[in-house]
């Protein structure tokens, strides 16, 4: 069911992408061709509608999600209304368009108020107000189609705009009222909330809505009234959706993070497709700048999302975003045809360029570990950038644009512009000087590689990007290769990240390579299809109209949707094998290790396998595993590699140690930082990471690993894999320890069973010893009387030593049987084992009037077994047979060899004519604590069964009540040609 839902969800998403791609490309075409000022409104339409779709699809029954989606749809309708008024040239069409699509803005206040009431938990308290807000919107929507709502259009400089009548101003007041009320609820909820996460959610939503309401509504109203102000409502709508999206991703405003992240990727893909289309149709020279924008933006997002608290990641992400804003600025210069609009474009987008040197210098100071010494210089660089950003909006900063061969370019004639360029060069090259000094001083080959690649990338980009742009701007006939230079810069940085871990974002870059490659494949496929059809139409002189254009785009979108998933998977595998081959191989190895650990029950073998495989696979210099020792009440080293034995013997941590408290409290991998002074003992052993092996709150062991031989850092992916393996290892260690404890218990039980059998044999042993002792006693009494008799002395010498030897043999057999010994597998003849046992139980059989007969195969094959355990098996079986015949009977024992399913076995059969076993009890004979004897423990046959199983043998019991029992034991023969008795 879940798979069906997921499949259906994906179909909807891909259908939406196809529709929105076609819509955006066709609409973008009109925006560029007819009125470039309509483009922000088109983007606002796509972004807000996409946000509504992804939120709604996440949970279609959640009222919060539904009202949010409805609000965004109304905002998208409003944005599309204004977009249409920018590109429509016919007055009557503009009038009808505005009358119909005005419904969007009329219902925005009610939908927003409804959403705000739910978000602030005021839905039930303010239910009547919610109804009232919708009633007001409904009344305005009805009046919209009547003469009371004055429907006239005025042609302004940029677009048609409605002429505001009295009811329009009442509507504006209604809009402000409900928006203000909704924001007040959110503000009150913010003040009362004690949750940090919830406060952040409400704060960002309040901020986004308030700013959008002011900058979206006010400029539009003023422009409609004739005030000469640029209507920035489209940018305000984009800003709103951007802040809301950030709040969702960063602070989980509604649980749709995954959906919105996917939405961001798809929306960026759609916008990129629009940009590609514009670059191809309007100005092909803009394409490198668009690609540079996308790559820098993706790199910024991936780096930031990897570690949002790391100053290195934050400053790099900010500088990459600012570089992206500069490249997007130049992209706009290439495709914008309106001289007025390009001036406003340059004025706003130049802010990104102004702050590049200060943020890049800040990043370099962190990278070169010079930030503590150069804080004042960082402050100065930011102060200069702030000053330039203020002067940017004054007449002192000349803002004249010149039309060159390929694009508009700023006229570099003003003094401030020249100072800005000098400031840019100064901070970039000063930063590079610090990188170079750090490179010379560094003793780490790993760090030298990082700094070397960054220096190469930044220096090359500074030369390739800045110099050609300046020369082209002042009129020198040179191709401005800044876009290509910037692509080169991001390529080198990405290589440094992948190859030398410049910032720990390898997995993120891997995704970046995947999505970037996927984007180019999609764009290439789209361009190929559209270009091919266009070429065919021109060859056959087929006229192209808008319906044919839409049909071609629809076909291209459908084809891309069909190949999207297979291509994505193929690219992912190729990227992993080409760019991350070592990681690809060792990740597979570590995954296999994780599975293998669960099959090992010997603790020493388990720890040896764990550490050896980890160190060999990840190329680690040293490491050791510690487990808890109950006798010493501390964690001791059980296995180590690459460590000095003298040091290993001294390493232990008791339960009061601060390291154990830290591991038990945090339950995460501890990274031993050079600046951290809390764990000096680990540093002295050159431990790099300390991994707790935990099951719930129980610390079963500690895995300490040193540096990698390559001096590479442990990446986040490494740490995730090690965490997974640590969890498996902890379970495996616990199982191995339980297995070891079970073995000890079993051994004790076996020994107890032996002693119980020995107690049973007490009378037999006494009888066996008493007879030879009587003979010895008689001879000892007669020795003083007949000592001179030579015949007596000869008889004495013949009989007494033999009787004493007989006693010694009986005592030795008893001692051997009773003692607890370690397992020792040897080649054995089963006939001799049973013969020796029969000597011990002869009197026991005689006492119960039992006749014992034996029939042994003469040349029986040898078996590999532990002699003491087999003695216990057969003693238990034979005694059970004797005790089953209290009134006497026959006990038959014979041995044989046979082949069962291709395996040769020695079989030992013990058959009695005793009371037998009931059918009900037969199924429980091997279960512990099941017995029919009054004083039995119920462990005898359980132990027998376990011993036979450990010898890879089998045991069968056939019994019939009141007729007797037959026990057959099968033990495999040694697989050797030389079966000699031992």
> What is residue 724's predicted lDDT score, i.e. its pLDDT?
81
Q: Is position 813 within any domain?
A: no
What pLDDT band is residue 966 in, cutting at 50, 70 and 90? very high
For residue range 70-95, what is the model confidence (pLDDT) as tens digits?
Answer: 888 998 898 888 888 888 888 888 88
> What is residue 145's predicted lDDT score, i.e. its pLDDT?
80
For residue range 932-944, what is the model confidence (pLDDT) as tens digits?
Answer: 665 555 667 777 8
Least confident of 316-325, 390-399, 845-854, 940-949: 390-399
Main-chain dihedrals φ then ψ at residue 270, nearest 5 degrees: -65, -45
For residue range 921-965, what is the model confidence (pLDDT) as tens digits?
Answer: 887 777 765 666 655 556 677 778 888 888 889 999 999 888 899
Residues 200 and 63 occupy one common structural domain: yes
For residue range 162-198, what is the model confidence (pLDDT) as tens digits?
Answer: 777 777 778 888 888 998 898 898 888 888 877 666 7
Which residues lie closer than 8 Å to 92 by C-beta, 6 or more apart? none
518, 567 contact by CB (below 8 A): yes
> What is residue 500's predicted lDDT score, i.e. its pLDDT?
46
Least confident of 145-159, 330-344, 605-619, 685-699: 145-159
639, 608 contact by CB (below 8 A): yes
pLDDT value at 10 more than 60: no
Which residues lie closer than 8 Å to 842 by C-beta, 6 or more apart? 764, 768, 852
Counts of helices then strands in the chain (DSSP H, E) = 31, 17
In the structure encoding, which two tokens stand for residue 503, read together? 């910032």
> What is residue 1's predicted lDDT score, i.e. its pLDDT?
44
What pLDDT band is residue 905 in, cutting at 50, 70 and 90? very high
End-of-domain residue from the set 460, 485, 504: 504
Cα gap 321→812, rounded to integer Å: 88
End-of-domain residue from the set 272, 299, 323: 272
In the structure encoding, which two tokens stand for residue 267, read together? 């929306």
Least confident of 32-36, 244-248, 343-347, 479-483: 244-248
Q: Is position 261 within any domain?
A: yes
What pLDDT band is residue 132 in, cutting at 50, 70 and 90? very high
Residues 982 and 864 occupy one common structural domain: yes
For the four alpha carbons of 501, 507, 513 and 516, in that order, the dihedral sign comes to negative
Pairing relation of β-strands 652-654 and 634-641?
antiparallel
252, 261 contact by CB (below 8 A): no
For residue 116, CA distances in Å to 67, 197, 823 come to 9, 17, 75
Residues 217 and 289 occupy one common structural domain: no
Main-chain dihedrals φ then ψ at residue 589, nearest 5 degrees: -65, -45
pLDDT value at 461 more than 90: no
Three-state secondary-structure class, residue 705 = strand
Residues 304 and 241 occupy one common structural domain: no
> What does the DSSP 8-state code read for residue 413?
T
Rounded mean pLDDT of 514-536? 63
Q: For the chain, how many structural domains are there in total?
A: 5
Rounded mean pLDDT of 500-510? 50
Name the packing angle between helices 257-281 and 233-251 (round to 10°): 140
End-of-domain residue from the set 529, 547, 579: 579
Q: Is position 820 within any domain?
A: no
> What is residue 674's predicted lDDT score, i.e. its pLDDT?
47
109, 78 contact by CB (below 8 A): no
Rounded mean pLDDT of 868-872? 81
pLDDT value at 324 more than 60: yes
State the average pLDDT for the chain.
75
pTM above 0.85, yes or no: no
pLDDT value at 341 more than 80: no
Q: Which of 22, 171, 165, 158 lies closest to 82 in space, CA to CA?
A: 158
CATH number of the domain encompassing residue 60: 1.20.1070
Cα gap 724→614, rounded to integer Å: 13
> What is residue 675's predicted lDDT score, i.e. its pLDDT?
46
For residue range 16-68, what is the model confidence (pLDDT) as tens digits?
Answer: 555 555 565 556 666 666 777 787 888 888 888 887 887 777 777 788 888 88
Q: How many CA atoms lie within 13 A of 612 on its CB side?
A: 8
Q: Is position 248 within any domain?
A: yes
Residues 247 and 314 occupy one common structural domain: no
pLDDT value at 971 more than 90: yes
Least confident of 350-364, 590-604, 780-794, 900-914: 780-794
pLDDT value at 544 more than 60: no
For residue range 683-735, what is the model confidence (pLDDT) as tens digits?
Answer: 777 888 899 998 877 888 999 998 876 566 677 667 878 888 888 888 888 88
Residues 255 and 335 occupy one common structural domain: no
pLDDT value at 787 more than 90: no
> What is residue 906's predicted lDDT score, i.e. its pLDDT?
94
Cα gap 247→182, rounded to integer Å: 18
Rounded mean pLDDT of 822-837? 83
pLDDT value at 239 more than 60: yes
Residue-number span of the structural domain to which 145 is assigned: 10-272
Least confident of 69-78, 352-361, 410-419: 410-419
pLDDT value at 543 more than 80: no
979, 861 contact by CB (below 8 A): yes
Residues 288 and 418 occupy one common structural domain: yes
Cα gap 140→153, rounded to integer Å: 18
Cα gap 135→845, rounded to integer Å: 105
CATH number of the domain encompassing residue 874: 3.30.565.10
Burial 654-670 (b: 16+ CB within 10 A, else e): eeeeebbebbeeeeebb
pLDDT value at 409 more than 80: no
CATH number of the domain encompassing residue 426: 1.20.1070.10
pLDDT value at 6 more than 90: no
For residue range 419-437, what is the model confidence (pLDDT) as tens digits?
Answer: 888 888 899 889 888 888 8
pLDDT value at 581 more than 90: no
Three-state secondary-structure class, residue 345 = helix
Rounded mean pLDDT of 493-514? 54
Burial class (CB in 10 A: 0-12, 13-18, 19+), 50: buried
Cα gap 73→48, rounded to integer Å: 7
> What is residue 530's predicted lDDT score, i.e. its pLDDT?
62
Residues 466 and 530 occupy one common structural domain: no
Q: Which residue has the higher pLDDT, 780 or 85?
A: 85
Rounded mean pLDDT of 398-427? 78
Q: Is position 306 within any domain?
A: yes
Which residues lie closer than 8 Å to 376 by C-beta, 6 or more apart? none
Cα gap 562→73, rounded to integer Å: 28
Three-state secondary-structure class, residue 161 = strand
Q: Which residue has the higher pLDDT, 187 or 417?
A: 187
Burial class (CB in 10 A: 0-12, 13-18, 19+), 4: exposed
The residue assigned the tokens 């107000």 is 129
Rounded mean pLDDT of 254-281? 55
> What does the DSSP 8-state code read for residue 708?
B
Residues 289 and 264 occupy one common structural domain: no
Proportion of the chain above pLDDT 70, given as a percent:
66
Q: Which of 176-185, 542-551, 610-619, 669-678 has the highest mean pLDDT?
A: 176-185
Q: Which residue has the higher pLDDT, 608 or 770?
A: 608
Cα gap 40→349, rounded to integer Å: 14
Q: How many CA atoms lie within 13 A of 980 on its CB side?
A: 2
Other CB atoms within 10 Å distance of the CB of residue 612: 14
Residues 147 and 287 occupy one common structural domain: no
> What is residue 125's predicted lDDT score, i.e. its pLDDT?
79
> What is residue 255's predicted lDDT score, i.e. its pLDDT?
46
Three-state secondary-structure class, residue 44 = helix
Which residues lie closer than 8 Å to 40 by C-beta, 6 or more apart? 232, 234, 235, 238
Q: Which residue has the higher pLDDT, 514 or 893?
A: 893
Q: Which of 555, 516, 518 lies closest to 534 in space, CA to CA?
A: 555
Residues 474 and 529 occupy one common structural domain: no
Least confident of 133-142, 266-275, 471-480, 592-601: 266-275
Residues 101 and 242 occupy one common structural domain: yes
Rounded mean pLDDT of 477-481? 71
Strands (E) located in 363-426: 401-403, 408-410
505, 718 contact by CB (below 8 A): no
Rounded mean pLDDT of 147-165? 74
In the structure encoding, which two tokens stand for residue 255, read together? 């649980």
For residue 414, CA distances in Å to 395, 396, 418, 734 come to 11, 8, 7, 75
Q: Which of 401, 345, 403 lies closest to 40 in space, CA to CA?
A: 345
Name the packing angle between helices 63-87 and 91-101 (round to 10°): 170
Q: Which of 773, 774, 769, 741 lies closest to 839 in space, CA to CA?
A: 769
Q: Is position 805 within any domain?
A: no
Q: Which of 347, 372, 353, 351 lies closest to 362 in space, CA to CA?
A: 372
Q: Is position 520 within any domain?
A: yes
pLDDT value at 830 more than 70: yes
Three-state secondary-structure class, residue 503 = coil
Q: Is position 744 within any domain?
A: no
> What is residue 195's predicted lDDT score, i.e. its pLDDT?
65
Which residues lie closer than 8 Å to 867 by C-beta, 6 or more apart? 824, 826, 828, 833
Cα gap 408→333, rounded to integer Å: 5
């Amino acid at each position: 069911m879940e798979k069906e839902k997921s499949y259906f969800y994906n179909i909807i998403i891909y259908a939406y992408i196809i529709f929105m791609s076609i819509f955006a490309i066709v609409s973008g075409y009109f925006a560029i061709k007819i009125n470039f000022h309509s483009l922000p409104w088109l983007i606002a339409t796509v972004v807000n509608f996409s946000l509504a779709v992804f939120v709604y699809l996440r949970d279609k029954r959640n009222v919060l999600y539904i009202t949010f989606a409805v609000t965004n749809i109304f905002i998208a309708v409003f944005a599309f209304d204004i977009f249409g008024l920018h590109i429509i040239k016919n007055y009557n069409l503009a009038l009808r368009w505005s009358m119909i699509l005005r419904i969007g803005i009329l219902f925005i206040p009610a939908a927003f108020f409804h959403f705000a009431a739910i978000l602030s938990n005021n839905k039930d308290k303010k239910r009547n107000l919610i109804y009232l807000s919708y009633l007001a919107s409904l009344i305005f929507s009805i009046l919209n189609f009547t003469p009371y709502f004055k429907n006239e259009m005025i042609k302004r400089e940029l677009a048609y705009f409605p002429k505001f009548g009295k009811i329009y101003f009442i509507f504006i007041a209604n809009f402000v009222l409900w928006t203000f009320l909704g924001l007040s609820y959110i503000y009150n909820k913010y003040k009362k909330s004690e949750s940090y996460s919830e406060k952040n959610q409400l704060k960002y939503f309040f901020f986004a809505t308030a700013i959008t309401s002011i900058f979206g509504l006010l400029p539009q109203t003023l422009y409609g009234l004739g005030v000469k102000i640029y209507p920035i409502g489209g940018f305000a709508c984009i800003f709103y959706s951007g802040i809301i999206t950030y709040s969702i991703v960063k602070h989980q405003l509604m649980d749709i993070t995954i959906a919105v992240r996917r939405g961001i990727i798809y929306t960026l893909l759609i916008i990129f497709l629009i940009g590609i289309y514009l670059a191809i149709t309007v100005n092909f020279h803009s394409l490198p700048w668009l690609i540079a924008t996308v790559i820098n933006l993706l790199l910024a997002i991936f780096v930031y999302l990897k570690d949002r608290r790391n100053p290195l990641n934050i400053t790099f992400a900010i500088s990459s975003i600012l570089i992206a804003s500069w490249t997007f600025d130049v992209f706009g210069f290439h495709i914008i045809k309106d001289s007025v609009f390009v001036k406003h474009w340059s004025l706003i987008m130049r802010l990104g360029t102004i702050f590049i040197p200060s943020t890049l210098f800040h990043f370099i100071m962190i990278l070169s570990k010079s930030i503590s010494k150069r804080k004042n210089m960082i402050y100065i660089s930011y102060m200069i950038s702030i000053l330039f950003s203020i002067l940017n909006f004054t007449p002192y900063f000349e803002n004249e644009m010149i039309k060159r061969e390929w694009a508009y370019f700023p006229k570099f004639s003003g003094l401030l512009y020249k100072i800005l360029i000098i400031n840019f060069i100064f901070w970039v090259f000063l930063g590079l000087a610090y990188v170079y000094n750090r490179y010379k001083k560094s003793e780490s080959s790993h760090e030298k590689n990082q700094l070397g690649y960054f220096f190469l990338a930044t220096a090359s980009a500074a030369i390739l990007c800045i110099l050609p742009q300046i020369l082209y701007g002042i009129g020198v006939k040179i191709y401005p290769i800044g876009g290509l230079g910037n692509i080169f810069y991001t390529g080198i940085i990405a290589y440094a990240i992948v190859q030398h871990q410049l910032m720990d974002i390898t997995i993120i870059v891997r995704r970046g390579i995947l999505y970037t490659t996927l984007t180019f494949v999609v764009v290439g496929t789209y361009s190929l299809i559209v270009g091919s059809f266009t070429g065919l139409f021109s060859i056959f002189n087929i006229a192209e109209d808008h319906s044919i254009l839409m049909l071609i785009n629809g076909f291209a979108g459908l084809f891309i949707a069909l190949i999207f998933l297979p291509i994505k998977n193929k690219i992912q595998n190729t990227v992993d094998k080409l760019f991350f081959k070592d990681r690809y191989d060792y990740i597979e190895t570590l995954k296999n290790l994780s599975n293998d650990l669960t099959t090992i029950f010997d603790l020493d073998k388990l720890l040896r396998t764990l550490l050896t495989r980890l160190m060999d696979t990840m190329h680690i210099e040293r490491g050791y595993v510690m487990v808890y020792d109950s006798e010493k009440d501390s964690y001791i080293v059980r296995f180590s590699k690459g460590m000095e034995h003298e040091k290993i013997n001294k390493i232990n941590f008791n339960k009061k140690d601060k390291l154990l408290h830290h591991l038990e409290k945090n339950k995460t991998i501890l990274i031993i930082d050079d600046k951290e002074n809390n764990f000096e003992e680990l540093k002295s052993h050159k431990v790099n990471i300390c991994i707790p092996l935990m099951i719930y709150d129980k610390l079963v062991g500690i895995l300490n690993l040193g540096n990698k031989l390559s001096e590479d850092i442990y990446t986040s992916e490494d740490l995730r894999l090690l965490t997974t393996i640590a969890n498996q290892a902890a379970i495996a260690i616990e199982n191995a320890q339980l297995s070891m404890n079970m073995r000890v218990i079993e051994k004790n039980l076996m020994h107890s069973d032996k002693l119980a059998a020995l107690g049973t044999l007490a009378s037999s042993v006494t009888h066996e010893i008493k007879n030879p002792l009587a003979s010895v006693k008689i001879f000892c009494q007669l020795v003083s009387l007949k000592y001179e008799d030579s015949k007596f002395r000869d008889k004495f010498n013949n009989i007494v030593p033999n009787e004493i030897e007989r006693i010694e043999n009986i005592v030795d057999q008893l001692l051997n049987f009773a003692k607890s010994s370690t397992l020792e597998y040897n080649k054995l003849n089963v006939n001799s084992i049973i013969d020796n046992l029969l000597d011990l139980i002869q009197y026991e059989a005689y006492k119960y009037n039992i006749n014992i007969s034996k029939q042994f195969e003469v040349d029986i094959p040898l078996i590999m077994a532990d002699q003491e355990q087999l003695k216990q098996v057969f003693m238990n079986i034979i005694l059970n047979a004797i005790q089953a015949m209290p009134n006497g009977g026959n006990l038959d024992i014979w041995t044989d060899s046979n082949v069962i399913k291709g395996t040769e076995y020695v079989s030992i059969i013990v058959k009695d004519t005793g009371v037998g076993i009931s059918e009900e009890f037969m199924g429980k004979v091997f279960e512990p604590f099941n017995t029919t004897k009054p004083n039995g423990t119920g462990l005898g046959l359980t132990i027998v069964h376990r011993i036979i199983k450990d010898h890879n043998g089998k045991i069968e019991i056939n019994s019939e009540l009141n007729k007797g029992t037959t026990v057959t034991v099968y033990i495999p023969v040694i697989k050797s040609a030389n079966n000699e008795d031992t």
